[in-house]
Structure 1
Amino acid sequence: MNVNAPKKSAVSEIRSRILFVLFAIFVFRMGAHIPLPGVDLVKLGQFFTENKGGFLSFLNMFSGGALSRMSVFSLGIGPYISASIAINLLSYVLPTLEELRKQGGQGRHKLTKYTRVLALIVALIQSVPVARQLLSNGFVLNPSALFFVTTSISLATGTMFMLWLGEQITERGIGNGISVLIFAGITSRFPDVFSNLFDMFSRGQLQILSLIVILAAIFMITAFVVLMEKGQRQIKVTHPSRSPSGSSANVLPLKINMAGVMPPIFANIMVFTPLGIAGFFTTPAESNLLNIATRLLQPGQLLYSIVVVAAISFFSFVFTSMTFNPDEFSENLKKGGAMIPGIRPGKATSRYIDEVMSRLALFGILYLSFVVLLPELFVSTLKIPFYFGGTSLLIVVVVVMDFMSQLNAHLIPDKYHEMVSKGKGSKKQSLQLFR
C-alpha cells in the first residue's frame, strides 16, 4: 500500500496542474472577448479588415485577437515584457539594483515587485494613446472624458490581471505562465489560418502543390527549431576530488540559442513601433514620408529584412549577456577550485567562455533570422500565402518544448520511486531464490 501511495499522489498533482493550466487559458480566452465599454465594434472590425498586416496585425496576433475586438486584454503582456527588460538592463547599470540581483532569491523577489510597478506605469502610459486613437477615429459610441478615463484604467487593469494569471500558472501549473499565455493567444488564431488555407484550396485559389509546400515548410521549420533549441556546446570542467584519479570532470552546457524567443519579438516591435506612434499623430494621407516608410518596412521588403536582422543581432547579444555572466561563472569556478582544462583560472577563463558564447550567439542570430524571414520569402518570391509567421511558429514550438521538459521534471520523482520499488522487488526475489 505504501509503495503505490506516492505514485498516485504524483499523478494526481500533475493532473491538477494540467487542469489548472487549461482553466487559466479558458479564463484568458474569455477575457479576450470582453470589449471595452463604449466602443463601436462594427466600425472597429471594418478598420482591422481593411488594414491587415503591419504593426496592428503583429500586436493582434500576440493578443489572440483581443486587439481587433478591443477587449480589456488588448495591451496583452507587452507592458510587462518591456518593464522586465528595463529592470534587467538597469540591474547591470544601477548599483542598487545590481546589489539586489546578486542577493539571490530575496533580491529577485524585490526586483519582481519593481517590475510589476513599472509594468503598471507602462500599461497606463500605453493606454493613453490607444484611448485617444479610438476617439479620433470615431470608434466610440458616446465620446466623453469619462470614456478616456475608463478605457485607460480598463486596459491597465487587464494587463495586470494577465500578469497575475501568468504568475498563478507558473506557481500552480506547468511551464512559464507568461509564455503559456502568449502561446494561447497565438494558437487561438491557428484554426482561422487553416480554415482560410483550405477554403482557398477548395475554391481553386490555391494549387495542391502550393498547399503541400506550405505544410512541408511548417513541418521542416518546426523540426529545425527543435533541433536548434536542443543544440548545445559542452565545455569540460574539472573539479578537485578525493578519488584515486585525483579529479572529476563535469560539463558546462551552453545552448546555441541562449537568448530564447525574445530577440525576434523585440525586433518586430522595434520595426513597427515608430510607424505605430507616427500614426497617432498623422494620417498616411497627410504624410508621404510615412507612406513610403510604411511600404518599405512591410514584411517581405528588403529594408524590413535588414532592420529585423540587425535588431535580432542586437537583442540576441543583450539577452545572452543577461542570461549568463562569464565573469561571475569564472569567479565561482575559481572559488571552488575548479577549472577548464588548458585554460588558466580567472580572467583567461572568463575570456574563453565569452568567446565561446559570442560564437554561439552568432549561430543563434543566423538561426533566428532564418526562421523569422523564411515565411516572408515564401510570400514575396513564391507568392504562396504563408499565414504562419516565423516568430509565432518559433514561440509555439519553444513553449511546447519547455512545457514537456517541465512535465518530465515533475515525473522524475515518480519514475525514481518506481525504479526503487522495482529494485526492492528484485532484491526480494533474489533472497527467495537463495532460500
Structure 2
Amino acid sequence: MNFIKNFFTNLSDLQKRILFTLGALIIYRVGSFIPLPGVNASAVLHLFQGEGGMLGMFDMFSGGSLSRMSILALNIFPYISASIIIQLLTATSKSLNELRKEGESGRIKINQYTRYLAVLLAIVQGWAVVKGLEVMAPVNGVPAVINPGLSFELSAVIALVGGTVFVMWLAEQITARGLGQGASLLIFAGIIAEVPGGIAKMFSLGSVGQISPAMIALIIGFVVGIIALIAFMEQAQRRIQILYPRQVMANGVTNTNASYLPIKVNMSGVMGPVFASSIMMLPAFLQRFVQSENHIVQSIMGFFTYGTWSYMALYTILIIFFAYFQTAVVFNSEETANNLKNAGGYIPSVRPGEQTSKFLDGIVSRTTAIGVVYLVVVCVLPIILNTQLGMPLAIGGTSVLIVAGVVLDTMNQVQSYMVAKQYSSVIKKAQKKGRFRV
C-alpha cells in the first residue's frame, strides 16, 4: 500500500491526468459489455449484422454498445442532443443569454439544465428502444425480449437512463480531471474499439476475392489523404497582428509591443459534425426500433435514408449550420474587440471598438467558410464514394475527423502542460538564485 501511495504522490499533474483518463476509458469500455437485463443479446446482434448507414455509425460511435444492447446503448448522445437544444435556446432566449453572461455561476446552472434535459431525452429514447425490442421479429424462433411486459419495460428504461447518466458523469470527470474534452474522448474510444474489426473485415473480403487489391490500396490511400487533410486544416489559422502603445525605455528608445490574434480555420472543431450526426441518427434510430406501416411516416423516413441525395443534402446543411453556430458560440467578436480596446491594443488601420468588431466578424466569416468546405468534403465525400460508387470504406469521414481531431486536441493540451511545467521549473530555479524576491 505504501508503494502505491508513494507512486501516486511522486507523479506530476500531467501524469495523474493521463492515468485518470486511461482508467476512465477502461471503465467505459467495460461498461459497454454489461448486457441489458431481460434481452437476448444474440438476437439483437443478428439484427445489426451487415448494418451500415447512420445506425451503423451510431453503433460505431458507441463502441458496439448498441449492437450488444448493453446498459450504455444510448451512450452520450442524449447529452449531446440536449446540449444542441440548450445552445439554440441560449441564442434565442433572453433569460438564458443573461444567465450565460453571469460567468461561472451561470455556466453551472446551464449545465444543470442540460443534464435534466438529457435525462428526459434518455427516457424517451430508452422507451422507444424497449418497445422496439418487444415487437422485434424472433430470430430462429428466439425473441429479442425474454419476458416482455411492463416489468421489463420499466427495468430496461431505468437501466438505459442510468447508463446514460453514468456516461455523462464520466465525461464530465474526464474534462475536469483528465485530458481533453470528455464527450469527444468517449466517442473517440468507441470508434477506435471498432476500427480493428472493420479493417479485418476489409482484408478478409480481399482474401476471398470480393475486394480487389487495387481497391484496398485505393481505400488505404484515401484514408491517409483524409487524415493528412485533417491534420493540416485543424492546425491552419489566420493570424491578425495586434499592436499595443509604445513604451519609452530608460535609454530613451521607444518599444512597440506586437502580438498576434490567431483565428482558426475550423474554429468549431469536431462538434459541428458531431451535432449534425446526432440529429441525422435520430430518424435512423426510430426507423429501426419504432416500426410503422403508415405511408406518410415511411415516406418521411425514406427522405432520411442513408446514402440518398436528400440525406446528403440535409447532412451538408446541418454541418454548415452547426459549424457557423458553434463558431459564434466559441468566438465573440464584440467581446474580443472590447477586451482589446480596454487593454490598449488595436489592429493596424482599424479603429478600436465597433470597427474592430466588424473587421473580426468579416475575418471569422471568411475563414469559417473555408472550414465549412473542408468539413463537408471530409464528412460527405466518403458517403458518396461508399453509397454511389461502391467503395467499401471501413470507417467513415466523420469518424476519421473525430479521431484525428481528438488526438490533435489532446496532444496540444499535453504540450501546454509541458510548457507550463518548464516555466514553473525556470521560475523556481530563478527564485533559488535570488533573482525574484517574494
With the shorter chain as reference, the TM-score category is: 0.7 to 0.9
Q: Please report how far the alpha carbon of residue 368 of structure 1 lies from its aligned counterpart in structure 2 after TM superposition.
A: 0.4
CA distance in 1: counterparts of 2:181 and 2:277, whole angstroms: 22
- Quote the Cα distance in structure 1 between the aligned partners of 2:130 and 2:390: 37
C-alpha spacing 1:348/1:413, structure 2 compared with 1 (3 Å): closer
Q: 1:278 offset after TM fit, Å?
A: 5.2
- Aligned-pair CA distance for 1:264: 1.8
CA deviations over 1:289-348 (Å, ceiling 9, x no partner): 666665664444333322221111111111111111112222222333322211222222
Counterpart in the other structure of 2:346: 339
Task: Give the Cα separation in 2 of the matches to 1:269 and 1:332.
Answer: 35
Partner residue, 1:44: 44
| Partner of residue 161, structure 2 | 156
Kindly report which structure 2 residues correspond to 1:232-247, keeping only aligned pairs within 5 A, or say none: 232-243=237-248, 244-245=253-254, 247=256
Correspondence 1:393 to 2:400: yes
Measure, in 1, the Cα distance between the counterparts of 2:183 and 2:375: 21
Q: 1:14 to 1:327 in 2, by over 3 A?
A: closer
Match of 1:254 in 2: 263
- For 2:149, give the aligned amino acid: S
Deviation, 1:421, is: 8.8
**Does the residue aligned with 2:244 lie in a helix, a strand or coil?**
strand
Q: Which piece of structure 1 moves more, 166-175 or 36-45?
A: 166-175
| Deviates further, 173-182 or 26-35 | 173-182
User: Which amino acid is the alignment partner of residue 150 of structure 1?
Assistant: S
In 2, Cα distance between equivalents of 1:100 and 1:297: 36
Aligned counterpart, 2:187: 182
Q: TM-score, normalised by structure 1?
A: 0.88
Among residues 365, 368, 381, which one is paired with 1:361 in the alignment?
A: 368
How is 1:23-172 mapped onto 2 (pairs within 5 angstroms)?
23-49=23-49, 52-137=51-136, 138-172=143-177
Structure 2 SS opposite 1:233: strand
Task: Report SS of the residue matched to 2:34.
Answer: coil
- The letter for the 1-side match of 2:59 is N
Q: What does residue range 302-381 of structure 1 map to in structure 2 within 5 Å?
A: 302-380=309-387
The sequence identity of aligned pairs, in percent, is 38
Q: 1:43 to 1:210 in 2, by over 3 A?
A: same
Count of paired positions: 416
CA contact (8 A) 2:132 2:290 kept: no
Residue 263 of structure 1 contacts residue 312 of structure 1 at CA under 8 Å; is this kept in 2?
Answer: yes
Q: Which range is displaced more, 182-191 or 236-245?
A: 236-245
Alignment of 1:273 with 2:278, yes or no, is: no
**Partner in structure 1 of residue 14 of structure 2:** 14
Q: 1:207 to 1:108 in 2, by over 3 A?
A: same
Contact 2:283 2:301 in 1 (8 A): no
Q: Which amino acid aligns with 1:182?
A: I
Query: In the aligned structure 2, how far is the partner of 1:278 from the partner of 1:190?
Result: 25
Give the SS at the match of 1:183.
Answer: helix
2:222 counterpart of 1:214: no
Matched, 1:202 2:188: no
Distance, in Å, in 1 between the alignment partners of 2:10 and 2:388 is 52
Please list the CA deviations of residues 138-180 of structure 1 after superposition, one character each: whole Å capped at 9, or x if unmatched: 5211011111111111111111111111122223222222211
- Secondary structure in 1 matching 2:49: helix
Indicate the SS of the match to 1:305: helix
What is the RMSD of the two structures over their aligned residues, measured on CA atoms? 2.6
3-state SS of 1:240 partner: coil
> SS at the partner of 2:247?
coil
CA distance in 1, matches of 2:172, 2:204: 39
| Residues 1:210 and 1:275: Cα distance change in structure 2 (over 3 Å) | closer
Unaligned stretches of 5+ in structure 1? Answer: 1-7, 428-435
What amino acid maps onto 2:373 in structure 1? L
Q: Over residues 215-236 of structure 1, what are the superposed CA-to-partner deviations in whole Å (9 max), with x where a residue is unaligned?
A: 1111111111010000001112
Going from structure 1 to structure 2, the CA distance change for 1:150 and 1:202 (only over 3 Å counts) comes to same
Give 1:56 shift: 2.1
Q: TM-score, structure 2 length as denominator?
A: 0.87
Change (3 A) 1:334 1:370: same
Partner of 1:5: none
Residue 264 of structure 1 pairs with residue 273 of structure 2: yes
Letter in structure 1 aligned against 2:43: K
Q: CA deviation at 1:11?
A: 5.6
- Distance in 2, Cα, partners of 1:418 & 1:398: 30
Single out whichever of 260-269 and 392-401 deviates more from structure 2.
260-269
Q: Which moved more, 1:162-171 or 1:270-279?
A: 270-279
Point out the more displaced range, 87-96 or 138-147.
Answer: 87-96
Worse-superposed segment, 140-149 or 268-277: 268-277
Distance in structure 1 (CA, Å) of the matches to 2:394 and 2:305: 15
The 1:279/1:383 distance shift into structure 2, 3 A limit, reads: closer
Contact 1:55 1:273 in 2 (8 A): no
Q: Within 2, Cα distance between the matches of 1:197 and 1:422?
A: 56
Output one character per residue of 1:219-272: Cα deviation in whole Å (capped at 9) or x when no partner. 111111010000001112222342454642221111101111122223233334
In structure 1, distance between residues paired with 2:246 and 2:102:
29
Q: Distance in 2 between matches of 1:151 and 1:98?
A: 37
Partner of 1:92, secondary structure, is helix
Deviation at 1:77, TM superposition (A): 0.6
SS of corresponding position for 1:340: coil
